[in-house]
Amino acid sequence: TGHLDDVNIDSAILCNMVDFIRDHMPHNVNAILIMKDRKLVFEEYFPGYDYSYFGNKFHGDKIDWDRNTKHCMHSTTKSFTSTLIGMAIQKGYLGGVDDKMFDHLTNYNEYINEDNRDITIKHLLTMTGGFQWNQNELGLDNPGNDLIRFNRAPDPYAYILAKPVIHEPGTHFY
C-alpha cells in the first residue's frame, strides 16, 4: 500500500468523488480501488445491493461492501483475463493467442472433437468460440438458460467444453 501524496494524486478530487457517489444513492458503484506504481493508494467501498438474477434491476439483498465481500464479476473478468493472458505470453508461458485451447487444457482432452479442436485462445478471449449458448433467449428463471446452468455446474469448464460447436470459431460473437 501507499499514500496518495506519494504518487501525486490529489486527495481532494477523490474526496469530492466519494461525496458525489454517496450523495447519489442508489447506484451500482460498489468499490473504487486505485493502484499506482504497484501500490494500492486508494480504497473505498459503498453500500448497495448484492447481485441477483431474479431481482428488480438484478438487485438482491442490501449489502455493505468491503474487501472481504464476494462479488459477482461477470464481464469484468474478461478484461482481467485478457491482461493475464498478455502477461503469460510476455513471460513465455503461452506461445500466443493463436495457441489452441486444448494445448493448455490437458485435463480436458476427453472433450476434444473435430468441431472444437481448432478453437484458439483468441477465440475464447473474443467470445467467438462458436459454442452453442443460450443465455439471452431464455429468461434467467428458466433452468435451460446456459448462464444459470454454467454457474451451477460442478465443473464449469467441462460444462462449456461439452457444448456443441454450432458456428465456425471466429465468426460469431456470443
Could you read off the pLDDT of 95-114 as tens digits, one per residue? 999 999 999 999 999 999 99
Contact 146, 137 (CB under 8 A): no
Question: Which residue shows C-alpha cell 428463471?
Answer: 141
Distance CA 93, CA 99 (A): 11
Phi and psi at 44, nearest 5°, equal: -145, 140
**33: nearest Cα among 46, 23, 20:** 46
pTM of the predicted model as reported, rounded to 2 decimal places: 0.70
Number of H helices, E strands in the chain: 5, 4
Give pLDDT, residue 172. Answer: 95
Kindly report, residue by residue over 148-157, the tens digit of the pLDDT.
899 899 999 9
| CA 88 – CA 39 distance, rounded (Å) | 21
pLDDT of residue 53: 72
User: How crowded is residue 45: how many other Cβ atoms within 10 Å of its Cβ?
Assistant: 16
What does the alpha-carbon distance between residue 63 and residue 80 come to, in Å, rounded to a whole number? Answer: 25
Residues of the chain with pLDDT under 50: none
pLDDT at 160: 96
